[in-house]
Each structure stands twice: as C-alpha cells, then as structure tokens.
Amino acid sequence: MVNEMTEAGDKMKERASAFGEPGVVLTEEQARSRRARNVAIGVTIAFLAVLFYAVTLVKFGAAIINRTI
C-alpha cells in the first residue's frame, strides 16, 4: 500500500518534471509541521477509538456476553 502510494507520488513528480516543473516541493518547515499535525491526528483518532470501545463495553456491562450463538 505504502509502496503503491510512493510509486504514484513518483509518477506525479515525473509527469510534472516532463513539463519542466518541479511539482509541489515542501520546505523543511512545511514538511515538519505537516508531520507533527499527522502524528497528532493519528494519536487523537487512536485514542478516540480506544475510548469509544471502552465506553461501549462499560455501557453494555455484563449484557455484552449475553448473546445468542
């Protein structure tokens, strides 16, 4: 999956350079802040997934194992 995305990115850059243009190149500051934002979003989503899972378990209580098989 990651390899496919990297390949797609490389192809886009190749296509851009075919027109004599570099494509969008991030400055170091832009890349750094984007990475930090991505990490923050990832951590937040992971935390929310765990929280919602745990809250659901608590709300169901013992009934969570009381189901027909």
Chain residues binding other proteins by CB under 8 A are 21-27, 29-30, 33-34, 36-37, 39-40, 51-52, 54-55, 58-59
> By C-beta, is 15 or 37 nearer to other proteins?
37
CA-to-CA dists, residue 32 to 11, 23, 35, 37, 39, angstroms = 23, 19, 5, 9, 11
Residue 34: CB minimum distance to other proteins, A: 8
The length of the chain in residues reads 69
Classify residue 19 by its DSSP letter: T
CB of 68 to other proteins, least distance (A): 25
